[in-house]
Amino acid sequence: MSKLTLDAETLAKLNGLSKTTEIYNEQGQLVAVMMSPRAYRAMHGPSAFGPFTEEELREADQATGPGRLLEDILADLRAGR
């Protein structure tokens, strides 16, 4: 997901994102639909943004190490560890 920081004037034009807003280009074509985080969560559920930040996901993606075999993980789970 990309991020865009809006100045106060632009945010005001978007009704403060207090309700879902359609964004059109000068040719009248719909280019985006913006909604508040609350509306987005209502549509996609409480974990809509996931439990991890973008930085945490990048760090995990770049992490290297021995890890654990799935077989070992399953054995621990079966044993209640």
Q: Which residues contact 48 (CB under 8 A, 6 or more apart)?
A: 40, 41
Does the pLDDT value for residue 54 go beyond 80? no
Q: 31: domain range?
A: 8-63
Whether 54 is in a domain gets the answer: yes
User: Mind listing the pLDDT tens digit for each residue in 6-52?
Assistant: 888 888 887 777 788 888 999 999 998 888 877 887 887 767 777 77
- 2 falls within a domain: no
Q: Is residue 29 part of a domain?
A: yes
Q: Residues 55-79: what's their mean pLDDT?
A: 86
What is the total count of domains within the chain? 1
Is residue 70, in this structure, part of any structural domain at all? no
Q: Is residue 42 part of a domain?
A: yes
**Structural domain contains residue 81:** no
Query: Among 53, 9, 51, 16, which residue's Cα sits nearest to residue 36?
Result: 16
Q: Output the pTM of the full model.
A: 0.46
User: Which pLDDT score, from 0 to 100, does residue 28 have?
Assistant: 94
CA–CA separation, 76 and 69 (whole Å): 11
Note the pLDDT of residue 20.
84
